[in-house]
Structure 1
Amino acid sequence: MRTDYPHWQRVPTRWNDNDSYGHVNNVVHYAFMDTVINTWLIERGGLDIHGGAAIGLCVESHCSYRASMSFPETVDAGLRIGHLGRSSVRYEVGFLRDGADEVIAEGHFTHVFVDRVSRRPVEIPADLRAAMRELLV
C-alpha cells in the first residue's frame, strides 16, 4: 500500500527493459531499486558518491514479483527503511502502477557502509543517519 512507504519516486521503464516474454526482466527490478535508493541517498541524505569517506556496498538484495510490468509503463517506487544499524541499513522498495494501491513487486536491499579506501565497515555518517531515520518504519 502507498501508506506503507514514506518516500516515492517515479521510475520509467525503457524499451530495452522488456525481455523476450514481453515484460520487464527480473534483473531490471534490482537496477530500479539501486537507482531509487541511491537517488534518495544523494538528494536527501547528502551522500557524496565521488569523494565521501564512507560508501555503501550492497551485501544482500531480494525481490518478490506479484505482477509483471512492461514498457512503456512508468511505475511508482516507494522507499522505506526496515532496519537501521550502526554500519548497515536495510531499504525496502515497493513498486506500484500509476494510481494503483497494490504492490506489483517488493524487494529489499542492504548496504553496509565502509571506508572508501580500506573497505572496512564504518558507522553511517551522522547527517546521513538523521535523514535515514525519516524513512525508518
Structure 2
Amino acid sequence: MTMTISGTQRLARWLVILTPAAIPAPVLRVGVRCLVDTLGIMLAGATTRSATSARQVVLDIAAPGDVAVVGSPRRLTASAAAFANGVAAHALDFDDNCNAGFVHGSAVIIPAALAAQSLKECG
C-alpha cells in the first residue's frame, strides 16, 4: 500500500531536519529581521486596547501553563498564550511591513512557534 503525504506533512518533515547551516546567509538575515520586527511589534501591540482585552479574556478563562503571555507575568496553555500574543502582534497592523514578509503570516506563525518552542523546552 502506497501512502501519500500532504504538502503540510512534507513541509513539516523538511523543517524537522533543517539545520541553520543549510539556510543560505541572505535568507537567514531576512528571516531574523522579520522575526525581530514581529517581536517588536508584538511588544508594542501588547499595550493596545484589543490586545489588553484579548489578554484579559485568556487570563480569565485559560488554564495555567508553561507559555509566556506578553504583558502579563502569568504563563498559560500554549493555545491561550499564542492567541493573546497573536492579537498583540497584529494589533498595530505593522507586522510583515516589508517585501520579505509578503505572506503576512508572522502575527500568527511567530506566536504559535514561540508557544510550541516553550512546550518543547518544558517537556
TM-score normalised by the chain length of structure 2: 0.29
Per residue, is there more strand in 1 or in 2?
A: 1
Higher relative helix content: 2
- The two structures have a TM-score, normalised by structure 1, of 0.27
Q: Which has the larger radius of gyration?
A: 2
